[in-house]
Amino acid sequence: MLYACMRSGRRVCQGVLMISVFSTVLLAQQSLTIPDATVEGFSPTQLTVVMTNEAPVQGYVLAIGYDSGLVTATDATVDGTAASVVGAEFVVISLVDGGITCAVVLDFDAPFDGHTIAAGSDQSIAIVTVSSNSAVAENTTTQVQFVDEVFNDPPLSNVIVQAGLSIGSGAGLLLNDGTLTMTPPTANELIIDDGFAEGDSVHTGDAYILLTNSTGDVQGFVLSIEHDPTDIALEGILLDGTVTESVGAEFVIPRIYSSGGTIGVVLDFNAPFGNQVIPVGDRHHIATFRYRCTGTVYEPEPDQENALTFVDGIFGSPPLDNVVVIDGFSVHPTLINGTFTCLSIPPPPPENTVLCMYPVFDNDNPNEAYPGQRGKLCFCYIDEDDNIQGMTITVCYDCDLEVHANTFDISGTILDELGADFVNHQVDDDCSDGENGEIVIAFLLDALPPFGDDYLPTTLVPLTLGCIDVTVEDTVPCDVTVPIVFCDNIDGNGTVNLYNNVIIDHQSIQDYERIGTQITTIPVKLFQRGDCNDDEMVDLADASASLAWEFLGFQINCHDACDSNDDGLINLADSVYTMNWLFNFGPIIPYPGPFDFGVDPTEDELPICNNLLTVCN
């Protein structure tokens, strides 16, 4: 019959599996079994259907039902079961209301070579994934059972096929039903997922903050996490790639402190209110805390594990607690702390020369820059006992940066003081060739007659060799970390592959420590100079607003915008300057204004603008 089924095609074969129930004399106690299982809260669980058969099986049909008011099957498969091991050639699985069906023929396609599941006990033949429809307050048990003549049209029965015959419950096949016990969900939890980074004081790593919310959709949350600043530093608090970002959080305030950080989030803050929420679920990724190891951990020292701890009432003014907001109420979840590990790295090479670099941007942190900001990338060295006569420096950088050719400058550096005879550099800033940007710098202290024996002085502290101009592209989003690394075998603008080396006693040395750097993009306030009343235009009303602030207590959002003459002060002269430009053909209001938005190019003591416009948006 099985051979005739295969010869007749899929429709006939499927019909045989569905409705052929013949009595035959086979060994007893063959069975299909659904093991008992437990599902916690909304977490899915898997039910593995097993078969005990005393003769080879050529195919089978399963029809399994459950209480759809309590649970739902979300997936079913034969992958990873005995059927997939022997290469089942025909598999049809259906998820139906209140159950699932599964029809399998092991040898369905020509050439028919007799695929079967050999005789055996408790062999897996299907895996069904189920989850609870709602939270239960106490343990609740429901049946998961084999059902005949209920699902599909024509209705299916549970059978196995042996020697071309369908064996069902009427022919001695035992159908052992199972149970599914639903347990109350885990309480609302905030979890710090462990993070790590190389312990080299340069690389950063991420600790994911996870949320399990079982009692309702979350409308907002506050996180407050402490660390020991002795060994790690918090570099940023990010929402990139999180469920918080995907649902469109509208109010986000992160704060970084020397020993911790906080973030407050309201998902639906602005009209029209769209009811953005984080739905009930398990281990949602809601935020990322990015850390850097402040020291260096060398092998064979063990990895350095640092505690990350939720703390209440420590950071912020007023002090903040870790809470989630559900139905308009602050809920204190269970807090599960984590760790951040500084991984030990190979020790530095025997040569104690260190080549280093560092960015310089006119911000509180020189490693931070806003999109579009121009600064410098400087190179330095440390060597306590060698006489360095020259050096080749080869660097690779991400195309989120623009390095400006012909700007390498040694003014005021040790090379300038010593009068290096040969200094050369080139920049390959073209990323269209599939490469990163490349910098090649070379110097030789003694390259012209009369030849002496010039070399760099030994030093225990970094001495700067020179700096080159670099700009963060204005298209780069905020909270992006852009690495700059020493790299070998690059050709810059030429055809010769070059590499990092120092010249000591006229020998080329490549085995020494090189420490790269990175630039992290940050937001910066934009303003329009002259627009004192913050209505995005410069006119007579702005002169009036400047006078009103000075004499009548009028509130302004951006002091720099009211500083029309850009002298770092707000006084009567600013309103006069604005009116002279408007009506008396006076000098134009300095950048950024009166037609453009931008950042203040002039250092002053005026407070940061309180408007919402930043480079990032």
Helix (H, G, I), strand (E, B) or coil at 452: coil
Q: Across the chain, which distance is largest between two alpha carbons, in Å?
A: 112
Higher pLDDT, residue 53 or 9: 53
Tell me, letter by letter, the H, E, C secondary structure of 260-285.
Answer: EEEEEEECCCCCCCCCCCECCEEEEE
pLDDT at residue 263, as a whole number: 97
pLDDT at residue 28, as a whole number: 47
Question: What does the block give as tokens for 302?
Answer: 């063990």
Higher pLDDT, residue 286 or 399: 286
pLDDT at residue 608, as a whole number: 78
Q: What stretches of 9-52 show up as alpha helix (H) in DSSP? A: 10-19
Which residue ranges form the domains of the chain, and what is each CATH number? 2-183 (2.60.40.680), 189-343 (2.60.40.680), 354-521 (2.60.40.680), 524-617 (no CATH)
Higher pLDDT, residue 431 or 299: 299
pLDDT at residue 7, as a whole number: 36
What does the pLDDT average to over 232-248?
Answer: 95
What does the pLDDT average to over 339-356?
Answer: 89
Cα–Cα distance for residue pair 569/548, rounded to 1 Å: 15
Checking if the pLDDT of 22 tops 50, the result is no
Cα–Cα distance for residue pair 440/515, rounded to 1 Å: 16
pLDDT at residue 612, as a whole number: 67
Across the chain, what does the average pLDDT equal?
Answer: 89
What does the pLDDT average to over 529-552?
Answer: 93
* Residues 440, 443, 447, 452, Cα dihedral to 10°: -160
Cα–Cα distance for residue pair 45/370, rounded to 1 Å: 47
For strands 159-162 and 71-77, give the pairing: unpaired
Reported pTM: 0.44
Write the DSSP assignment of 90-116 as a string of letters.
Answer: EEEEEEETTEEEEEEESS-SSS-----
pLDDT at residue 277, as a whole number: 95
Confidence of residue 216 (pLDDT cuts 50, 70, 90): confident
Please state which of the ranges 166-180, 277-291, 596-610 shows the lowest mean pLDDT. 596-610
Confidence of residue 615 (pLDDT cuts 50, 70, 90): low
pLDDT at residue 20, as a whole number: 39
In the chain, what percentage of residues exceed pLDDT 70?
94
Residue 468 Cα distances to 354, 392, 398, 441, 601, angstroms: 19, 15, 16, 10, 20
- Closest by alpha carbon to 192, among 267, 258, 259, 289? 289
Residue 440 Cα distances to 51, 401, 406, 414, angstroms: 68, 16, 12, 19
pLDDT in tens, 92-141: 999 999 999 999 999 998 888 888 999 999 999 999 999 888 777 789 99
Checking if the pLDDT of 46 tops 80, the result is yes
What does the pLDDT average to over 459-482?
Answer: 92
pLDDT at residue 616, as a whole number: 66
Please state which of the ranges 90-94, 520-524, 558-562 shows the lowest mean pLDDT. 520-524
What does the pLDDT average to over 586-608?
Answer: 87
Confidence of residue 348 (pLDDT cuts 50, 70, 90): confident
Please state which of the ranges 285-294, 487-496, 526-535, 604-613 shows the lowest mean pLDDT. 604-613
What does the pLDDT average to over 341-353?
Answer: 86
Checking if the pLDDT of 368 tops 60, the result is yes
